[in-house]
Amino acid sequence: MPFPPISWWATTIDTDVLLLDKSEHFQKMTLRNKYCIAGANGLIQLSIPLQNGRNQRAAMKDIQIAPGNWQVQHWRTLTAAYARSPYFEYYAQSLQVLFETPFQLLVDFNNASLLWLEKVLKKQLNKTITETYNKTYENATDLRITKFKVNNAVKFPEYYQVFSDRTDFISNLSMLDLLFSEGPATIAWIEENKEAILEAVG
Q: What is the pLDDT of residues 159-193, one digit of tens each?
A: 999 998 888 889 999 999 999 999 999 999 999 99
Residue 197, in any domain of the structure:
yes
Residue 20, in any domain of the structure:
yes
Axis crossing angle, helix 175-182 with helix 186-201, rounded to the nearest 10: 140
Least-confidence region, from 54-58, 73-77, 78-82:
54-58
Cα–Cα distance, 177 to 164 (Å, whole number): 12
pLDDT greater than 90 at residue 56: no
Residue 126, in any domain of the structure:
yes
Residue 129, in any domain of the structure:
yes
- One-letter amino acid at 125 equals L
Number of domains in the chain: 1
Reported as a single tens digit per residue, the pLDDT across 1-52 is 899 999 888 888 877 666 666 667 777 777 789 999 999 999 999 999 998 7
pTM score, two decimals? 0.87
Residue 162, in any domain of the structure:
yes
Say which residues have a Cβ less than 8 Å from residue 187's Cβ, sequence separation at least 6.
Answer: 13, 121, 122, 123
Residue 35, in any domain of the structure:
yes
Residue 1, in any domain of the structure:
no
Q: Where are the alpha helices (DSSP H) in the chain?
A: 6-12, 70-82, 88-98, 106-121, 164-167, 175-182, 186-201
DSSP 185: G
Radius of gyration in angstroms for the set of CA atoms belonging to the chain, rounded to a whole number:
16
CB atoms within 10 A of CB 33: 22
Residue 21, in any domain of the structure:
yes
Nearest residue to 34 via CA among 63, 69, 75, 2: 2
Nearest residue to 189 via CA among 4, 70, 13: 13
Domain hosting residue 142, numbered range:
6-201
- The whole-chain average pLDDT of the chain stands at 85
Reported as a single tens digit per residue, the pLDDT across 136-163 is 666 555 555 555 666 555 678 899 999 9
